[in-house]
Structure 1
Amino acid sequence: MSASRLGVGLIGAHTWADKAHLPGYQAHEQVDLIAVCDIDPDRARAMAEKYGAKKVYTDPEQLIADPDVQMVDVCTPTFTHLPLSLAAIAGGKHVLSEKPLHTEAAPAFDAAARADAAGVRTKLGFTFRYSPAIRQLKSWIADGTLGEIFHIHGFEQNSQWLDPDFPLRQVTPGAPRDRLIPSSIIGYGSHLIDLMRWLGGEFGSVASTMKNFIPDRVIRGEPGRQRILIEDGAVALVEYANGTQGMLQTSYIAVGNYPGVEIRVYGSKGAAVARLISEFGTAETLKFATAEEVEFKPFEIGTSALPPGTTLATPWPELYYRNLVRHFVDEILEDRPQECTFYDGAKSQEIVDAIILAHQERRWVDLPGHSA
């Protein structure tokens, strides 16, 4: 793409757009924020005024059809991600979608194939790939600093919904209330699985257990407490295709601060622990040890690893999303290789599906092979 600037249109002007997506576009010197769309016109106007968007829409189809919009950002409830993304692809637009693209893998693979056929680029909002600590960890694996990788442990756990009166969001309309509804493994687990797959390679097989700990809770948009068996804790074992062993845990109710992501990698030459947890004014920490010096020491992330205008004191949604936006815009404008695409989202969902099946059938489940 030869254009020096990228016209962006955002659909969904809720809190996450305000905290993460829109600051990323505002900070990128080669982005023109063309339009903001929301079913609430006042909300759309407020976000457009705050971040300098030129147009306001209440109909996503009109935003997608706008010739000045070259890339569409889908920042809406989960069940709308796929239809809006498919509409953007059909309209010849590059598209960034919040995760998950769909709660089943097959439709996500289909969307990835449609994007490739249309010649447009995609990115999934896997925020934590764009943590400076995680990207440093990835480089240590790639350059052999950690040696042969033996174990990868991943956790995404915080007490965001430990209080049953804190409204739970993203419950699909019409979800059954009489059986376990996979939730933390989808909302949190998809992030974690993407990180573990990006760092360690393809998953071979999984075994798992899922549980509802708090059966009565407030659901956003519904009156009072509701009896709903939301899966608010899951644990899985992973056998990687290359022989690495893995373990992951997701939880809505484990005491700790948001976002609660921790990745531990153990290799033949060394080990590292990245904690993406807002604590004492710092967004993340990274520690490193070697086989000769086994006590973990802090590793300082240099300013060159941070998005321009940020520090490790920048709130993590803005810190990571500035990086995500910068990568996607640069991939489009500079024709760089794609990273973290709809295909990666489909692979993550495929693993989520396998973890759910493993729990339901109380067995190891093998992952099918899909070529990129």
Structure 2
Amino acid sequence: MASRVRDGEIGTSWSADAMFLPALSAHPGAEVVAVCGRDAGRAEAFARRWGDAYALTDTDALLDHGGLDAVLILTPNRLHHPLTMAALERGMHVLCEKPLALNVAQAQDMLAAAEAAGVCHMVPFTYSFMPATRYLRELIGQGYIGQPYHLNMRYYSGGARTEEYRWRFDRSEAGSGVLGDLGSHFLFIAMQMFGGVNSVQCQLGRYGERGPRPDGKPYERVDDSAMLSFEFVNWAQGNIHVSNMCYEDTNFGQTHHMEFHGSDGTLYSYTDWDKVQQVSGARVGEGPVRRLDIAEDIWLGARRDKVHDTYRDVFRRQDHMARGFISAILKGQPASPDFANGLQVQRVLAAAERAAKEGCRVPLTEIE
């Protein structure tokens, strides 16, 4: 069993700086060896801030750097498949951002290669690790709502209200728009709560203006709003609405709303990404809706007055996401969520895109 994991990290996004690299630098069993990004100055700044690491601008140079055990791929989606496959060919453990790939075929390749290599693999569906979500999952698992009937989930953000070019809304870079970017988070949570999806309907919207690509080339603009309606394998119903075009007047410019209904009760959750992260519920025969305090064994010492302090503590101090990935490697155990979970979400995304294009309900059995 390994005593230390030597990591390379590809991508210099805000999330790399806020979640992944701080988590690795704080883990006693991890060593950040190299950071790679397109901007040499930014890569150098990240390398200095989060360890005595090499700063690189060439992904091959990072992957061929001697002694790396694992790689974190935090890049635009079009690079997920080639970089993951290259890392797996070298026998590395891989954490790859969501959505796992541009399409189902790529996701299947990545899962098959990871299983053949016998390495640890993870897709970090961030919000599934937050205390409110984990408490909801625990309550539903304990039977709080009884037989699941339906869920409603809304992720509202203002991330696309500006008009500059963003790769997340470029088909060639992202594969899909807000459907894959934000929708993948809530699809994973929905399936954690209610199980597998049987069929999907979807409407996609494109409301925002987008600036030209930096290289001047034309590109296909993808969705900045998505509404999904689906049926679960257990016949429960679900609705998810994700939008990057909402004006949400909070410090982080986004809100999360979740409702879960069943034969015995209802659960609600609201997070304003400022000071509110609340779970409430009502059960048959127990009176009106009341606030439910998130259990202390879920908080695990995380600060709770400000949501972003919770966020930092969950990912920098607890064994979730990047830290959980390292701990799984050290223990010789599977990581979670893994590429199989990423493929499950990818299949629902593919069904949703087809449903939106054809104006029909698409069974998951038709998505190979």
Indicate whether the TM-score tops 0.5: yes
Q: Which moved more, 1:331-340 or 1:3-12?
A: 331-340
Q: 1:241 aligns with which of 217, 233, 249?
A: 233
Distance in 1 between residues matched to 2:120 and 2:254, nearest whole Å: 28
Q: 1:336 aligns with which of 329, 333, 336?
A: 333
Q: Secondary structure at the match of 2:261?
A: strand
Evaluate the alpha carbon distance shift between residue 308 and residue 31 of structure 1 in structure 2; reply closer, same or farther with a 3 A threshold: farther
Indicate conservation of the 8 Å contact 1:100/1:345, yes or no. Answer: yes
Indicate conservation of the 8 Å contact 2:136/2:267, yes or no. Answer: yes
Indicate conservation of the 8 Å contact 2:75/2:97, yes or no. Answer: yes
Distance in 1 between residues matched to 2:219 and 2:30, nearest whole Å: 45
Indicate conservation of the 8 Å contact 1:21/1:318, yes or no. Answer: no
What's the counterpart of residue 34 of structure 1? 33
| Alpha-carbon offset, residue 122 of structure 1 | 0.9
What's the counterpart of residue 351 of structure 1? 348
| Alpha-carbon offset, residue 217 of structure 1 | 2.9
What's the counterpart of residue 197 of structure 1? 191
Q: Secondary structure at the match of 2:100?
A: coil
| Alpha-carbon offset, residue 370 of structure 1 | 9.0
Matches within 5 A, 1:5-24: 5-24=4-23
**AA at the equivalent of 1:241:** V
2:273 matched to 1:296?
A: no
| Alpha-carbon offset, residue 229 of structure 1 | 4.8
Q: Secondary structure at the match of 1:135?
A: helix
Indicate conservation of the 8 Å contact 2:78/2:172, yes or no. Answer: no
Evaluate the alpha carbon distance shift between residue 347 and residue 114 of structure 1 in structure 2; reply closer, same or farther with a 3 A threshold: same
Distance in 1 between residues matched to 2:356 and 2:179, nearest whole Å: 11
Evaluate the alpha carbon distance shift between residue 95 and residue 81 of structure 1 in structure 2; reply closer, same or farther with a 3 A threshold: same
Distance in 2 between residues matched to 1:210 and 1:320, nearest whole Å: 33
| Alpha-carbon offset, residue 321 of structure 1 | 3.6
Distance in 1 between residues matched to 2:300 and 2:37, nearest whole Å: 28
Identity rate, percent: 26
Distance in 2 between residues matched to 1:12 and 1:287, nearest whole Å: 38
CA deviations on 1:127-158 (whole Å, 9 max, x unpaired) are 11111111111111222232211112221222
| Alpha-carbon offset, residue 369 of structure 1 | 8.1
Indicate conservation of the 8 Å contact 1:37/1:58, yes or no. Answer: yes
Distance in 1 between residues matched to 2:44 and 2:272, nearest whole Å: 33
Evaluate the alpha carbon distance shift between residue 297 and residue 319 of structure 1 in structure 2; reply closer, same or farther with a 3 A threshold: farther
**AA at the equivalent of 1:244:** A
2:280 matched to 1:287?
A: yes
Q: 2:321 aligns with which of 321, 324, 327?
A: 324
**TM-score normalised by structure 2 residue count:** 0.88
Matches within 5 A, 1:1-372: 2-162=1-161, 164-165=162-163, 167-172=165-170, 182-214=176-208, 216-218=209-211, 221=214, 229-256=221-248, 257=250, 258-279=253-274, 281-282=275-276, 284-306=277-299, 310-311=303-304, 313=306, 315=308, 318-322=312-316, 323-368=320-365
Gaps of 5+ in 2: none
| Alpha-carbon offset, residue 247 of structure 1 | 0.8
**AA at the equivalent of 1:190:** S
Evaluate the alpha carbon distance shift between residue 34 and residue 228 of structure 1 in structure 2; reply closer, same or farther with a 3 A threshold: closer
Q: Secondary structure at the match of 1:242?
A: coil
Q: Which moved more, 1:343-352 or 1:294-303?
A: 294-303
Distance in 2 between residues matched to 1:166 and 1:237, nearest whole Å: 31
**AA at the equivalent of 1:344:** N
Distance in 1 between residues matched to 2:281 and 2:333, nearest whole Å: 31
**AA at the equivalent of 2:126:** T
| Alpha-carbon offset, residue 115 of structure 1 | 0.2
Q: Which moved more, 1:102-111 or 1:298-307?
A: 298-307
Indicate conservation of the 8 Å contact 1:109/1:346, yes or no. Answer: yes
| Alpha-carbon offset, residue 53 of structure 1 | 3.5
Distance in 2 between residues matched to 1:173 and 1:234, nearest whole Å: 15
Indicate conservation of the 8 Å contact 1:106/1:346, yes or no. Answer: no
Aligned residues: 359
**TM-score normalised by structure 1 residue count:** 0.87
